[in-house]
């Protein structure tokens, strides 16, 4: 298996297809700038793992070693969460606590897709792993899939990160289909926020961790990692650690995570009808999540005197800050003087927490 030209002589058409898919992911990362930090290493990992006799995978392959050390142990996604927590400013959510409801409503697609996956023939653990794609949170998807359906990790990971990068393409048609131009022009008052003290900002990650742990201890790895990163940010006394978590840690682990996920995309496991079904259901999960948030806002408007721009509901997914930017852009397209970014960011930050809580709920409820 190590002779000259072995790779060329032994390559199959399935492996050629996977190498082409790797090139497509690299193209999307470089030419279109779709989640390049992850799609580029995933694409390259897929290429070097589908060449016959590749020394990158197997008993002594460095990618297999990384997989065993970082994916099987769930270490990589948890380290990513520490970095994400250090990057997130929960201030917009703390200023507008009501936005947490939009984060919760936008997780609707996860559970609907789970039900669809069960009806399609997947067992409950596999269905949970597929449904969590709708969280729009790659590390959460990887974490749950590693626990429940490791054999489906490759298509779930690729679907999760691909759709995260395609949020600017997926969300606008769904939002337009569910709202009228008049609804998209609804203006929201800018003075509905409250000043958040530093004490509250410091206590928030601690209280959330305690609450999550006491209700569902299995959630502590996910929630605790995210909140620990945020505590580093908000404490104000470990700026070097906070910056390291945001930059060096996140960059290094993202690189290793991406190329390791790519190494799982071997032709014999990836090129199956199941893969297409998972990717299709992942798309439905994103659509249902967006629709759930918008519909929730529209229902609230039936009872409110001060109407909410229903597009805000679409920001409840975890794709931060892309979703908030999309909604602001759509609002200004209808009315150049309409600024809903503050509320959109609040809902988007809520989506970060809600997606992690949704993943924790699935871990706690699905046995």
Q: Which of 2-6, 172-176, 276-280, 320-324 has the lowest mean pLDDT?
A: 2-6
Task: Determine contact, residues 285/113, Cβ cutoff 8 Å.
Answer: yes
Per-residue pLDDT at 255 exceeds 90: yes
The answer as to whether 75 is a domain residue is yes
The answer as to whether 183 is a domain residue is yes
Find how far residue 146's CA is from the centre of its chain.
Answer: 15
> CB neighbours (10 Å) of residue 155?
25
pLDDT tens column, 176-227: 999 999 999 999 876 555 678 999 999 999 999 999 899 888 889 999 999 9
Give residue 218's pLDDT.
Answer: 85
The answer as to whether 30 is a domain residue is no
Compute the Cα dihedral for 70, 76, 78, 82 and give only its sign. Answer: positive
Q: What is the CA radius of gyration of the chain?
A: 21
* Mean of pLDDT over the chain: 90
Q: Which of 124-133, 283-292, 317-326 has the lowest mean pLDDT?
A: 317-326
The answer as to whether 27 is a domain residue is no
Task: Determine contact, residues 100/123, Cβ cutoff 8 Å.
Answer: no
- What the block records as the tokens of 13 is 């058409």
**d(C-alpha 225, C-alpha 360), whole Å:** 12
- What the block records as the tokens of 136 is 């729009």
- The DSSP code for 74 is S
**d(C-alpha 199, C-alpha 178), whole Å:** 40
Predicted confidence band of residue 99 (pLDDT cuts 50, 70, 90): confident
The answer as to whether 288 is a domain residue is yes
Number of residues assigned to the chain: 367
Task: Determine contact, residues 97/284, Cβ cutoff 8 Å.
Answer: no
Total structural domains in the chain?
Answer: 1
Task: Determine contact, residues 174/287, Cβ cutoff 8 Å.
Answer: yes
Per-residue pLDDT at 287 exceeds 70: yes
**Phi/psi of residue 54, nearest 5 degrees:** -55, 130
- The DSSP code for 249 is I
Give the residue numbers spanning the domain of 136: 67-365
The answer as to whether 118 is a domain residue is yes
Predicted confidence band of residue 46 (pLDDT cuts 50, 70, 90): very high
**d(C-alpha 336, C-alpha 60), whole Å:** 58
């Amino acid at each position: 298996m190590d002779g000259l030209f072995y790779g060329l002589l032994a390559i199959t058409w399935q492996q050629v297809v996977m190498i082409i898919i790797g090139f497509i992911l690299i193209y999307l990362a470089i030419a279109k700038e779709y989640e390049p930090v992850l799609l580029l290493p995933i694409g390259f990992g897929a290429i070097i793992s589908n060449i016959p006799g590749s020394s990158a995978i197997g008993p002594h392959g460095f990618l297999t070693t990384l997989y065993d050390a970082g994916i099987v142990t769930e270490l990589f996604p948890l380290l990513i969460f520490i970095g994400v927590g250090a990057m997130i400013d929960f201030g917009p959510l703390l200023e507008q606590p009501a936005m947490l409801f939009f984060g919760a409503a936008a997780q609707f697609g996860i559970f609907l897709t789970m039900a669809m996956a069960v009806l399609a023939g997947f067992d409950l653990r596999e269905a949970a792993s597929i449904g969590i794609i709708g969280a729009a949170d790659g590390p959460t998807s990887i974490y749950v899939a590693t626990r429940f359906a490791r054999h489906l990790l490759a298509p779930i990971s690729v679907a999760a990160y691909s759709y995260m990068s395609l949020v600017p393409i997926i969300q606008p048609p769904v939002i337009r289909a569910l709202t009228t131009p008049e609804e998209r022009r609804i203006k929201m008052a800018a003075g509905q926020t409250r000043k958040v003290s530093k004490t509250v900002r410091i206590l928030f990650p601690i209280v959330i961790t305690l609450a999550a742990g006491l209700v569902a201890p299995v959630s502590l790895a996910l929630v605790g990692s995210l909140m620990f990163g945020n505590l580093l940010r908000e404490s104000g006394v470990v700026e070097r650690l906070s910056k390291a978590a945001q930059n060096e840690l996140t960059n290094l682990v993202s690189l290793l995570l991406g190329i390791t996920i790519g190494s799982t995309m071997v032709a014999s496991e990836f090129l199956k009808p199941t893969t297409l079904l998972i990717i299709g259901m992942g798309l439905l999960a994103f659509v249902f999540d967006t629709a759930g948030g918008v519909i929730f806002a529209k229902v609230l408007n039936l009872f409110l005197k001060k109407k909410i721009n229903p597009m805000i509901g679409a920001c409840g997914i975890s794709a931060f800050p892309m979703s908030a930017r999309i909604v602001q852009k759509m609002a200004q397209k209808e009315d150049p003087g309409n600024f809903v970014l503050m509320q959109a960011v609040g809902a988007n930050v809520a989506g970060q927490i809600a997606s992690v809580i949704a993943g924790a709920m699935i871990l706690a409820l699905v046995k």
